[in-house]
C-alpha cells in the first residue's frame, strides 16, 4: 500500500529537499519535488498526491498561499498537508494550521521525525475522508478525485489536468449549464490569461477520449456546455 502513496514535496532549499526526497523514496513512497510554489501547485494538479510536504518560505507564491489555494480547490482540498517551518516562523505555522494544514515540522528536523509525522498524518486523514465525496459515478463513468483518475467501463481514460478538471466540474453537477468562461475559470483558476474559445478544444478532446459515451457532454448553443446523466 505504501508503494502506491504519492507525495509532493515543495521546498526551495536544495539540500533539505534532497534529504526529504531521499528518505521518502527509501521508505517506498513515490515522490515529486518542486522548489517554487508555482511549480508545486502544478505538480499537485498533475499528480493528485496523497500528501503534500510544504515549506512556508518559498520564492514567488509562498507556502501559505499554496496551502490556501489547495484548500479552496474542490479537487485538492482533501489532500493532507504537512507544513515545514523554521522555529522563528511560529506565527506563520499557526496561520498555516488555520488555513487547513494537518501538521507542521520545525527546522531543523531529523528524517526519522518527518517520516513518523508522514505516517501519522496519512493514517489519520485516510480514515477521515469519505470516498463518496471524492467520486462521481454516472452510468459507466467513474471520476476518482483522490486518485486523479477517470474510468469508463472499467478502463482508464488518460486525461490532461485541464481536461480532468473540466470533466469533473461538468459531471459533478449534471444538468447544469456552464458558460465557457466558467469552465475555464474552474480549470485554470484566477489570474491566468485565457482565451474563452480554447474550452472548445478541450471539450473536443474530452469527447474523443470518452467515445462512445461522448454524448454525455452536451453543447448549449450560445451558452456553453452541460453534462447529461440521463
Domains and CATH numbers, the chain: 2-129 (3.40.50.2300), 133-227 (1.10.10.10)
Give the DSSP letter of residue 213: S
C-alpha closest to that of 194 among 223, 162, 226: 162
CA distances from 49 to 8, 100, 139, 227 (A): 6, 16, 27, 27
How many other β-carbons are positioned within 10 Å of the β-carbon of residue 199? 23
Q: Angle at the Cα of 58 (from 53 to 60), degrees rounded to 5?
A: 130
Element (H, E) at 179: strand 178-179
pLDDT value, residue 53:
97
Residue-by-residue pLDDT tens, the chain, 230 positions = 334 689 999 999 999 999 999 999 999 999 999 999 999 999 998 888 889 999 988 988 999 899 999 988 877 888 899 998 875 566 766 776 777 888 888 888 899 999 999 998 888 766 344 444 578 889 899 998 878 899 999 999 999 888 888 899 899 888 888 888 778 776 665 444 444 557 888 899 999 999 999 899 999 888 889 999 77
Can you read off the three cell numbers belonging to residue 3? 508503494
pTM greater than 0.85 (yes/no): no
Angstrom distance (rounded) from CA 93 to CA 67 = 11
d(CA 110, CA 106): 10
Amino acid at each position: 500500500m505504501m508503494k502506491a502513496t504519492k507525495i509532493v514535496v515543495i521546498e526551495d532549499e536544495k539540500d533539505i529537499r534532497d534529504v526529504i526526497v531521499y528518505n521518502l523514496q527509501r521508505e517506498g513512497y513515490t515522490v515529486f519535488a518542486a522548489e517554487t510554489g508555482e511549480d508545486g501547485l502544478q505538480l499537485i494538479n498533475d499528480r493528485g498526491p496523497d500528501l503534500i510536504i510544504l515549506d512556508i518560505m518559498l520564492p514567488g507564491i509562498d507556502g501559505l498561499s499554496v496551502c490556501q489555494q489547495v484548500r479552496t480547490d474542490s479537487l485538492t482540498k482533501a489532500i493532507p498537508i504537512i507544513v515545514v517551518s523554521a522555529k522563528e516562523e511560529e506565527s506563520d505555522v499557526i496561520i498555516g494550521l488555520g488555513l487547513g494544514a494537518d501538521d507542521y515540522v520545525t527546522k531543523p528536523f531529523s528524517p526519522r521525525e518527518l517520516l513518523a509525522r508522514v505516517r501519522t498524518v496519512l493514517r489519520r486523514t485516510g480514515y477521515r475522508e469519505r470516498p463518496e465525496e471524492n467520486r462521481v459515478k454516472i452510468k459507466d463513468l467513474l471520476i476518482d478525485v483522490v486518485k486523479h483518475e477517470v474510468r469508463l467501463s472499467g478502463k482508464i481514460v488518460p486525461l490532461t489536468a485541464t481536461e480532468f478538471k473540466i470533466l469533473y466540474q461538468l459531471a459533478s453537477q449534471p444538468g447544469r449549464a456552464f458558460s465557457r468562461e466558467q469552465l475555464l475559470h474552474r480549470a485554470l483558476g484566477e489570474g491566468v490569461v485565457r482565451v474563452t474559445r480554447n474550452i472548445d478544444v478541450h471539450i473536443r478532446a474530452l469527447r474523443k477520449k470518452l467515445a462512445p459515451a461522448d454524448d454525455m457532454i452536451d453543447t448549449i448553443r450560445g451558452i456553453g456546455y452541460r453534462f447529461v446523466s440521463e
